[in-house]
Amino acid sequence: MTGLDLAKNVGLKLCEGKKISEPVNCSSTELEKILREKFSEAHGIFLAWQIQNIVWGKFDGEKLLLKDNLPPNFDDWLECRIFNAGEELHLKRDGENFIGRYVRDAEDTEDFYVDSFARLWGEYFSSADGWITLLDAQRKLSMIIPCDDDGKKFYGLTTRNYIGSDDDTGLSGYVDYRFVAIESAWEGD
pLDDT digits (tens, 9 = 90+) for 119-136: 999 999 998 888 999 999
> What confidence category does residue 70 fall into, taking pLDDT thresholds of 50, 70 and 90?
confident
Burial (0-12, 13-18, 19+ Cβ within 10 Å), 77: buried
Confidence band (pLDDT; 50, 70, 90) for 11?
low
- In 84-122 the beta strands, taken as DSSP E runs, fall at 87-94, 97-119
Over 80: is that where the pLDDT of 159 sits? yes
Least confident range of 2-6, 84-88, 151-155: 2-6
CA angle 155, 7, 170 (to 5 degrees): 125
Cα separation of 77 and 131, whole Å?
21
Task: Give the pLDDT score at 138.
Answer: 93
Q: Where do the domains of the chain lie? A: 3-184
pTM of this prediction? 0.84
pLDDT at 44 over 90: yes
pLDDT (0 to 100) of residue 149: 67
The residues with which 94 forms a beta bridge, in sequence order, are 97
Is 90 exceeded by the pLDDT of residue 84? yes
Q: Give the pLDDT of residue 83.
A: 96
